[in-house]
Amino acid sequence: MLSNQIVIMPPKYAIAFLRWFCREDYIEEIEGDLTEIFDKEFENSPGRARRRFTWSVLKYFRPVFIKSFKKSQPNSIGMYKSYTIAFHMLVRFSTSSQSLQVRLTP
């Protein structure tokens, strides 16, 4: 049978934020330490334990622990350069580009 024990969990939004920004090599250790402290403090004051857990997660938001997001971001500078080059070429060769557009349209 199921027991009527309450499952004590830290705030989900704080854990989600921690997992989002924290580097993979630190995440397990930091989350484990914060959860242990949360469990101890929850017995005395649940509300205070949640606030302190969230504040502790925010304190870890430092350059040492932040993972690199460069892998997920596309190289937009090269894209803009190619657009500007294409625009300049259209302006420079406007008569030939207009005649090409007329020929390509159905």
Distances in Å between the Cα of 22 and the Cα atoms of 13, 61, 65 are: 14, 8, 5
69-92 confidence digits (pLDDT tens): 765 556 666 677 777 887 777 777
26-77 confidence digits (pLDDT tens): 999 999 999 999 999 999 999 999 999 999 999 999 988 888 876 555 666 6
Contact 42, 49 (CB under 8 A): yes
Q: What angle do CA 20, 61, 17 make, to 5 degrees?
A: 30
pTM above the 0.75 mark?
A: no
Phi, psi of 66 (to 5 degrees): -80, 130
